[in-house]
Amino acid sequence: MVESPGVPGPPIFVAHEFAAIHTPRLVLRVMTSRDVDDVHRYMSNPEVCRYLLHEPRSRETVAEKIAEWSRMKRLAEVGDDLQLALELTTPGLEAGRVIGHLYFKLTSIDDLTAEIGWTLHPDFEGKGYATEAAESMLAYSFTELRLHRVIAELDPHNGASVALCRRLGMREEALFREDLWLKGEWSDTGIHAILRAEWLARPSS
Protein backbone atom coordinates (compact mmCIF):
# COMPACT_ATOMS: atom_id res chain seq x y z
CA MET A 1 0.00 0.00 0.00
CA VAL A 2 1.28 3.44 -0.96
CA GLU A 3 0.86 5.98 1.80
CA SER A 4 -1.12 9.06 0.76
CA PRO A 5 0.85 12.29 0.55
CA GLY A 6 0.56 14.36 3.72
CA VAL A 7 -0.76 11.47 5.82
CA PRO A 8 1.50 10.95 8.84
CA GLY A 9 2.79 7.51 9.65
CA PRO A 10 1.88 5.68 12.85
CA PRO A 11 3.33 7.04 16.10
CA ILE A 12 6.46 5.29 17.31
CA PHE A 13 7.30 4.77 20.98
CA VAL A 14 10.95 4.51 21.92
CA ALA A 15 11.74 2.50 25.05
CA HIS A 16 13.06 4.51 27.99
CA GLU A 17 15.13 3.75 31.06
CA PHE A 18 13.81 5.94 33.83
CA ALA A 19 16.19 8.45 35.39
CA ALA A 20 15.39 10.44 38.51
CA ILE A 21 13.39 13.65 38.09
CA HIS A 22 14.31 16.62 40.27
CA THR A 23 11.78 19.32 41.17
CA PRO A 24 12.24 22.36 43.45
CA ARG A 25 11.43 20.34 46.59
CA LEU A 26 11.45 16.68 45.56
CA VAL A 27 13.25 13.98 43.69
CA LEU A 28 11.14 11.34 41.94
CA ARG A 29 13.15 8.13 41.88
CA VAL A 30 12.90 4.36 41.86
CA MET A 31 12.28 2.98 45.34
CA THR A 32 14.89 1.07 47.34
CA SER A 33 14.83 -1.10 50.46
CA ARG A 34 15.77 1.98 52.52
CA ASP A 35 12.28 3.38 51.87
CA VAL A 36 10.31 0.64 53.63
CA ASP A 37 9.73 2.46 56.92
CA ASP A 38 8.77 5.77 55.29
CA VAL A 39 6.36 4.09 52.89
CA HIS A 40 4.86 1.91 55.62
CA ARG A 41 4.05 5.06 57.61
CA TYR A 42 1.37 6.04 55.12
CA MET A 43 0.47 2.73 53.47
CA SER A 44 -0.59 1.38 56.88
CA ASN A 45 -2.92 4.36 57.39
CA PRO A 46 -6.62 3.47 56.86
CA GLU A 47 -7.44 7.02 55.76
CA VAL A 48 -4.74 6.91 53.06
CA CYS A 49 -6.05 3.54 51.82
CA ARG A 50 -9.66 4.67 51.83
CA TYR A 51 -9.65 5.36 48.08
CA LEU A 52 -6.99 2.82 47.10
CA LEU A 53 -7.59 -0.69 45.78
CA HIS A 54 -6.04 -2.32 48.82
CA GLU A 55 -6.41 -2.31 52.58
CA PRO A 56 -3.71 -0.93 54.94
CA ARG A 57 -0.51 -2.91 54.48
CA SER A 58 1.84 -4.49 57.01
CA ARG A 59 5.52 -3.61 57.03
CA GLU A 60 6.28 -7.07 55.62
CA THR A 61 3.91 -6.53 52.70
CA VAL A 62 5.34 -3.07 52.03
CA ALA A 63 8.86 -4.54 52.00
CA GLU A 64 7.75 -7.18 49.47
CA LYS A 65 6.12 -4.54 47.27
CA ILE A 66 9.18 -2.29 47.34
CA ALA A 67 11.44 -5.22 46.46
CA GLU A 68 9.26 -5.66 43.37
CA TRP A 69 8.98 -1.93 42.57
CA SER A 70 12.73 -1.40 42.85
CA ARG A 71 13.17 -3.55 39.73
CA MET A 72 10.72 -1.45 37.69
CA LYS A 73 12.91 1.01 35.80
CA ARG A 74 12.10 0.56 32.12
CA LEU A 75 9.14 1.68 29.99
CA ALA A 76 9.16 -0.45 26.86
CA GLU A 77 6.01 -2.58 26.65
CA VAL A 78 2.33 -2.25 27.45
CA GLY A 79 1.88 -2.82 31.17
CA ASP A 80 5.32 -1.58 32.18
CA ASP A 81 4.94 0.68 35.18
CA LEU A 82 6.86 2.75 37.70
CA GLN A 83 6.23 3.28 41.41
CA LEU A 84 8.34 6.33 42.15
CA ALA A 85 9.31 7.54 45.62
CA LEU A 86 8.66 11.21 46.35
CA GLU A 87 11.70 12.15 48.41
CA LEU A 88 11.98 15.53 50.10
CA THR A 89 15.13 17.44 49.18
CA THR A 90 14.57 20.79 50.89
CA PRO A 91 17.01 21.41 53.76
CA GLY A 92 15.65 20.52 57.19
CA LEU A 93 14.88 17.66 59.52
CA GLU A 94 12.62 15.96 56.95
CA ALA A 95 15.14 16.05 54.07
CA GLY A 96 15.56 12.58 52.61
CA ARG A 97 12.17 11.37 53.82
CA VAL A 98 9.82 9.65 51.36
CA ILE A 99 6.42 11.32 51.75
CA GLY A 100 4.49 9.45 49.06
CA HIS A 101 4.81 7.82 45.69
CA LEU A 102 3.70 8.34 42.13
CA TYR A 103 2.33 5.57 39.89
CA PHE A 104 2.92 5.65 36.14
CA LYS A 105 1.91 2.89 33.71
CA LEU A 106 2.30 2.54 29.95
CA THR A 107 -1.17 1.44 28.80
CA SER A 108 -0.86 1.63 25.01
CA ILE A 109 2.12 1.84 22.70
CA ASP A 110 0.03 2.12 19.53
CA ASP A 111 -1.89 5.07 20.96
CA LEU A 112 0.95 6.50 23.07
CA THR A 113 -1.10 6.47 26.27
CA ALA A 114 -0.17 6.16 29.93
CA GLU A 115 -1.90 6.25 33.31
CA ILE A 116 -0.82 8.33 36.29
CA GLY A 117 -1.72 8.12 39.97
CA TRP A 118 -0.43 9.34 43.34
CA THR A 119 -0.43 8.60 47.06
CA LEU A 120 0.72 11.02 49.76
CA HIS A 121 1.26 10.92 53.52
CA PRO A 122 -1.53 12.98 55.20
CA ASP A 123 1.00 15.15 57.05
CA PHE A 124 2.17 16.54 53.72
CA GLU A 125 -1.19 17.14 52.04
CA GLY A 126 -2.22 20.67 51.13
CA LYS A 127 1.37 21.84 50.55
CA GLY A 128 1.57 21.34 46.79
CA TYR A 129 3.82 18.29 46.82
CA ALA A 130 1.46 16.05 44.84
CA THR A 131 0.93 18.80 42.26
CA GLU A 132 4.67 19.38 41.96
CA ALA A 133 5.35 15.67 41.45
CA ALA A 134 2.49 15.06 39.01
CA GLU A 135 3.30 18.15 36.94
CA SER A 136 6.90 17.02 36.57
CA MET A 137 5.75 13.55 35.50
CA LEU A 138 3.38 14.98 32.90
CA ALA A 139 6.23 17.10 31.55
CA TYR A 140 8.36 13.95 31.33
CA SER A 141 5.48 12.11 29.61
CA PHE A 142 4.96 14.71 26.91
CA THR A 143 8.52 15.92 26.33
CA GLU A 144 10.82 12.96 26.99
CA LEU A 145 8.44 10.08 26.19
CA ARG A 146 6.45 12.16 23.68
CA LEU A 147 3.23 10.41 24.65
CA HIS A 148 -0.09 11.55 23.19
CA ARG A 149 -2.38 11.11 26.19
CA VAL A 150 -2.21 10.56 29.95
CA ILE A 151 -5.20 9.47 32.04
CA ALA A 152 -6.00 9.19 35.74
CA GLU A 153 -8.53 6.69 37.12
CA LEU A 154 -9.87 7.56 40.56
CA ASP A 155 -12.76 7.33 42.96
CA PRO A 156 -14.87 10.43 42.17
CA HIS A 157 -15.57 10.82 45.90
CA ASN A 158 -11.86 11.50 46.45
CA GLY A 159 -12.16 15.28 46.32
CA ALA A 160 -8.44 15.92 46.80
CA SER A 161 -7.49 13.82 43.76
CA VAL A 162 -10.26 15.32 41.63
CA ALA A 163 -9.00 18.81 42.54
CA LEU A 164 -5.45 17.78 41.66
CA CYS A 165 -6.56 16.56 38.24
CA ARG A 166 -8.15 19.94 37.60
CA ARG A 167 -5.00 21.79 38.67
CA LEU A 168 -3.05 19.66 36.21
CA GLY A 169 -5.40 20.67 33.40
CA MET A 170 -6.97 17.23 33.09
CA ARG A 171 -10.56 16.96 31.87
CA GLU A 172 -13.20 14.67 33.34
CA GLU A 173 -14.00 12.32 30.48
CA ALA A 174 -16.14 9.62 32.07
CA LEU A 175 -17.93 8.57 35.21
CA PHE A 176 -18.73 4.88 35.60
CA ARG A 177 -21.34 4.20 38.26
CA GLU A 178 -20.81 1.15 40.47
CA ASP A 179 -18.50 -0.51 37.96
CA LEU A 180 -16.16 -1.96 40.59
CA TRP A 181 -16.80 -4.29 43.53
CA LEU A 182 -14.29 -3.09 46.11
CA LYS A 183 -13.94 -3.66 49.84
CA GLY A 184 -17.42 -5.10 50.19
CA GLU A 185 -19.36 -2.55 48.16
CA TRP A 186 -19.91 -1.18 44.66
CA SER A 187 -17.63 1.74 43.83
CA ASP A 188 -17.62 4.36 41.08
CA THR A 189 -14.70 5.17 38.77
CA GLY A 190 -13.91 8.58 37.33
CA ILE A 191 -11.65 9.10 34.32
CA HIS A 192 -9.66 12.30 33.81
CA ALA A 193 -7.27 12.88 30.92
CA ILE A 194 -5.01 15.37 29.19
CA LEU A 195 -3.53 15.36 25.69
CA ARG A 196 -0.01 16.40 24.76
CA ALA A 197 -1.39 19.25 22.65
CA GLU A 198 -3.40 20.49 25.63
CA TRP A 199 -0.37 20.29 27.89
CA LEU A 200 1.80 22.22 25.45
CA ALA A 201 -0.91 24.88 25.02
CA ARG A 202 -1.16 25.59 28.76
CA PRO A 203 -0.19 29.14 29.77
CA SER A 204 3.37 29.25 31.04
CA SER A 205 3.63 30.00 34.75
The pLDDT assigned to 176 comes to 95
Residues 188/176, Cβ–Cβ less than 8 Å: yes
The pLDDT assigned to 53 comes to 86
CA-based torsion, 194, 197, 200, 203: positive or negative: negative
User: Could you give the angle at the alpha carbon of 111 between the alpha carbons of 108 and 115, nearest 5°?
Assistant: 45
Using 70 as the pLDDT threshold, list the residues of the chain that sit under it.
1-9, 204-205
The pLDDT assigned to 94 comes to 86
CATH 3.40.630.30 fits 18-200, yes or no: yes
Domain boundary assignment for the chain: 18-200
Residue 89: how many CB atoms within 10 A of its CB?
15
